[in-house]
Structures are given as C-alpha cells and as structure tokens.
Amino acid sequence: MSPFEIFFKNFFLSIKTFFQLHDRYLTFGLILALIPIPFSGLIALLIALIGAIFQIQNKFINNESLYIILILTLSSLNIWLTSTLFIFIYSEFFNYINSVKDFILNYLNALVGKTNQFI
C-alpha cells in the first residue's frame, strides 16, 4: 500500500471520527459558520449560544466547550465579514446607479441643449 494512500485514509478517518464524536447540531452550526452568507452566520451563532447553555447545564455527553467557542468565534467573524462585504456592495451598487443616472441626464441635457430644473 502506498504511503499516500495510508496518509489520506488516516486523514479522512480522523475527520470522520472528529465529526462522530461531536454533537450533530453543533457540527451543523460549524458548517453554517463557514458558509459566507450573513444569515447562516446568525443561525450558527444561535446554535452555538444554545449549545453553550446546554454545556453549562452539562447536557452533553462529551465536553463541547472548545467546539462551541470555535463556532461562536467563526460565526461572529462570518457575520462581521459578510455584513461588511454586503454593505460595501450595496453602497457601490447605488453609486453605480447614480453615475448611470447622471450620465443619462447629462446626455439628454447635451442633446436638448437646455437644462430642465424638473428632471
């Protein structure tokens, strides 16, 4: 057997066992925290906060505190980055729309030859 095959087999086996050891809903929250959509980060944050409450009440079989902290951190980062990105896209889009409107009005003004105060 090739050393590469052994390496990748052990690597994928360790990933599989990692996800099997942790709660499914927290794993779903981790996946949502990694998707770059603002609402998925918010849902992941809510899952992590509820998971933190369950961790404080010792409802989990395993200690999930580090996993919950990871999800909280990633979901907060996700919300911040995607919100910043969408605000930037939103402002750039409306700047573009205003520049197109100004271009059309200037073109019509040059075509007609006089300015109209009501346009």
Give me the residue spans of the domains in the chain. Answer: 3-89
Residue 106 reports pLDDT greater than 90: no
- Least Cα distance to 41 among 86, 19, 64, 72 occurs for 72
- Summarised one tens digit per residue, pLDDT across range 8-24 is 899 999 888 888 888 89
| Diameter over CA atoms, the chain | 83
Residue 49 to residues 32, 73, 98, Cα–Cα distance (Å): 14, 11, 42
- Summarised one tens digit per residue, pLDDT across range 29-78 is 999 999 988 799 999 999 999 999 999 999 988 888 899 999 999 999 99
pLDDT band, residue 114 (cuts 50/70/90):
low
The better pLDDT of the pair 111, 49 is held by 49
pLDDT at 29: 94
Cβ-proximal residues to 26 (8 Å cutoff; 6+ apart), any chain: 47, 48, 51, 64, 67, 68, 71
pTM score, whole prediction = 0.72
- Least Cα distance to 30 among 55, 83, 77, 67 occurs for 67
Which 3 state secondary structure label does DSSP give 118? coil
